[in-house]
Amino acid sequence: DVKVTQSSRYLVKRTGEKVFLECVQDMDHENMFWYRQDPGLGLRLIYFSYDVKMKEKGDIPEGYSVSREKKERFSLILESASTNQTSMYLCASRSGTGYNSPLHFGNGTRLTVT
Amino acid sequence: QQQVKQSPQSLIVQKGGISIINCAYENTAFDYFPWYQQFPGKGPALLIAIRPDVSEKKEGRFTISFNKSAKQFSLHIMDSQPGDSATYFCAASRIGSNYKLTFGKGTLLTVNP
């Protein structure tokens, strides 16, 4: 089974701090994603990466950046955390883009910015 | 612009009943329609998916019905069980699209014993 591991289950940070959310997948997937999940808003794509050192903006990239130095690892960076970034963050990976290439999600990091 | 509209936002069903969740999409280029299931404390996981060349797909108690002309698709859970209580997300994308899996806002299903 594919395993997507997010390094922290819960994080509490202060406004203005730089925050790193880490994600590792063990199935050599090319594509990795960061989503944000908020009640009533569903899953919204922040950034994705289709190869090492490659990245593209999703629907809500403002206030975030990403890093992918190794194929298995994809980091989400909040340059200066704000209270409106309090949310559940979900990392996902995918082996390709075809019909039989589902997204595999981690269990999420719940971030609270105070 | 919300490209995938999901309803209802929440749903309560008695054990043994049928749960129905509906989604509508706007982009006629979409050709892949998965449903994801999320239990509390877990990430979403693929439940079932359909392509627009078929009108229905069934896997066990879960069925997707697809209406291409109406740009709608729905998830039916037959004989709903308390263990089906979860949040369900519909989604849509184009096959071959690297990333653009657009999700609905989710439906919280509660199945009462």
Write the DSSP assignment of A28-75 as a string of letters: --SEEEEEEEETTTEEEEEEEEEETTEEEE-S--TTEEEEEEETTEEE
> Which of B43, B51, B99 is closest, CB to CB, to A48?
B99
CA B22 to each of CA A15, A55, A91, B25, B40: distance values in angstroms, whole numbers, following the listed order: 39, 33, 26, 10, 21
The answer, for B21 touching chain A at a CB cutoff of 8 Å, is no
DSSP H/E element including B23: strand B19-25
Measured distance CA(A8)–CA(B32) in Å, rounded = 32
Short-list A87, A82, A78, A81, CA closest to A109: A87
Q: Is B49 on the interface with A (CB under 8 A)?
A: yes
pLDDT of residue B74: 97
- Which residues of chain B are within 8 Å of residue A98 when distances are taken between CB atoms? 95-96
Contacts of A102 in chain B (CB under 8 A): 34, 46, 49
The Cα angle at residue B99 between residues B96 and B104, in degrees rounded to 5 = 110
CA dihedral (B52, B29, A52, A8) positive or negative? negative
CB contact under 8 Å between B89 and A42, yes or no, is yes
Which pLDDT score, from 0 to 100, does residue A53 have? 86
Low-confidence residues of chain B: pLDDT under 50: none
**Which of A35, A90, A97, A110 is best to mutate for the B interface (most B CBs within 10 A)?**
A97
Q: Does B48 touch chain A (CB under 8 A)?
A: no
Asked if the C-beta of B55 comes within 8 angstroms of chain A's C-beta atoms, the answer is: no
Distance CA A46, CA B39 (A): 22
Looking at the complex, report in whole angstroms how far the Cα of residue B73 sits from the nearest Cα belonging to chain A. 17
Q: Which residues sit opposite B14 in a β-bridge?
A: B112
Task: Supply the pLDDT for residue B52.
Answer: 85
Which residue on chain A is closest to B2 by alpha carbon? Answer: A41
Residues of chain A with pLDDT under 50: none
* Residue at token pair 């049928």: B18
Res B99: pLDDT: 59
The pLDDT value given to residue A95: 86
